[in-house]
Homo-oligomer: A and B are copies of this chain.
Amino acid sequence: MSARAGIIVTGTEVLSGRVADANGPWVSERLSELGVDVAHMICVGDRADDMTTALRFLAGNGVDLIVTTGGLGPTADDMTAELVAAFAGREMVLDEGMERRISEIVAEFARRMNFDPAGLREGTRKQAMVPQGSIALDPAGTAPGLVVETEAGPTVVVLPGPPRELQTMWPAAVAAEPFARVLERSDEYAMASMKMFGIPESTLAKSLREIEEGGVDLAPLEITTCLRKGAELEIDVRYTRDAEPLREALFDGLRERHAAVIYTESGETIDEIVAGLLRGHTIATGESCTGGKLAGRLTDIPGSSDYVAGGVVAYSNEAKSRLLGVPADVIEGKGAVSPEVAQALARGAIERFGADLGVGITGVAGPGGGTEEKPVGFVCFCVASADGRVMARDVQLPGNRSDVRERSVSVAMHMLRRFLLGVEPPF
């Protein structure tokens, strides 16, 4: 049996839809990895009543654990700690050690940012107030996290809203004794994942049915398939250890059918995989329709300066010729969006940056610029190496401007992986 948890995300700006919440999904993934079932994720505004009813609802639903995010700031509308204390039937008390700790942090912050520390000090005492008998977690910003036990009810873990602070604090929360006790009540789950690029979700659904009809009982496996932006198809399986043979049979069945499109079974992202393969090389980009987004993704990875030489965003035709030496007559004759120009962009990038590898992308991102022959979503890709190898593809991508640009970057990353492994793409 699994322990069950609820998540409460606070913040009017999240509830109103103005800001996308990253904390709820992040906490949910971590809980799932720990074998804890998430029953409900509730988003509430900065209204005391709505928070309290959410806590009561989850408790009434029999969850073992409630994780809250946000509402720990220094201002009056940050009420999570007080509301959780009231819910747990505990007084708020001053944690003097915590007050000293926060004062130090605030003073240091004010010094570095050149702020007047006086304006920041007000909130220090408020943030050092904690429910009596709770465990205060060391702040990653200025707010301590809290682990609060309730009598005969769920343990409540109170975490700050800024994602970096929440994530920094998470291991300490998990290690806290009441949290650990919840985990002990839970079966151990294993997780496995497989990622594919280049097949539709309906094909995978069909394969799952075939595997089941072939005699593999999939019922004990909790299978989630999800299509991420950029058309990466992820199959996640959560299962108890005794179902390992079934999980293996499932993956064998998928490998038999889809070996050509599986790119990892170890949970890595395509960006991490490509980063690993690029070590020892140097790479440069020549981008038109993606406008720098491929270079941006390649350099997201820490340490990418070791292998990314740079790139050119050649948005205008003149820039394509001037900066990357794409012959004007090729642009004229074949069109700016053509396999020939994609290849010239890749070659130009290799030459101008003195790199081993080059990627060229040119396409119609839309909303304007589409023609019968080259509609919005038509994108030409080329990966080339200084020693003359070339991999080229023309792809018709679905979606609006933003989708086409994002998916183009994903296609380029997957082509790069295949180029570095010496395997032609199935698309």
Contact = CB atoms under 8 A, between A and B. Distances in A.
Interface of A: 11-20, 24-29, 32, 38-47, 50, 53-54, 57, 61, 74-75, 112-113, 115, 119-120, 123, 164, 200, 202-203, 205-206, 224-226, 228, 234, 236, 284-285, 287, 290-296, 298-300, 302-305, 308-316, 318-319, 322-323, 352-354, 366-369, 396, 398-403, 405
A315 B308 contact: yes
Among A14, A353, A402, chain B packs the most CB atoms within 10 A around the CB of A353
Contacts of A316: 305, 308-310, 353
The 3 closest A-B pairs by CB, nearest first: A291-B299, A292-B292, A292-B295
Contact of A205 (B11, B75, B112, B113): B75
B13 A17 contact: no
Contact of A310 (B13, B203, B314): B314
Contacts of A14: 25
A11 B287 CA distance: 35
Count this chain's copies in the assembly.
2
A314 B12 CA distance: 41
Contact of A15 (B11, B28, B115, B120): B28
A350 to B, nearest CB: 12
A312 B312 contact: yes
A292 B311 contact: yes
Given A13-B226, A40-B42, A401 B313 contact: no
B323 A352 contact: yes
Nearest to A298: B291
A404 B42 CA distance: 31
A368 B302 contact: yes
Contacts of A294: 292
B39 A42 contact: no
Given A164-B399, A323-B312, A353-B322, A32 B44 contact: no
B28 A17 contact: yes
Given A13-B226, A29-B16, A353-B322, A50 B43 contact: no
A119 to B, nearest CB: 6
A292 B302 contact: no
Contacts of A300: 291, 401-402, 405
Contacts of A299: 291-292, 313, 315, 405
A399 B50 CA distance: 32
Given A61-B53, A115-B200, A352-B323, A16 B164 contact: no
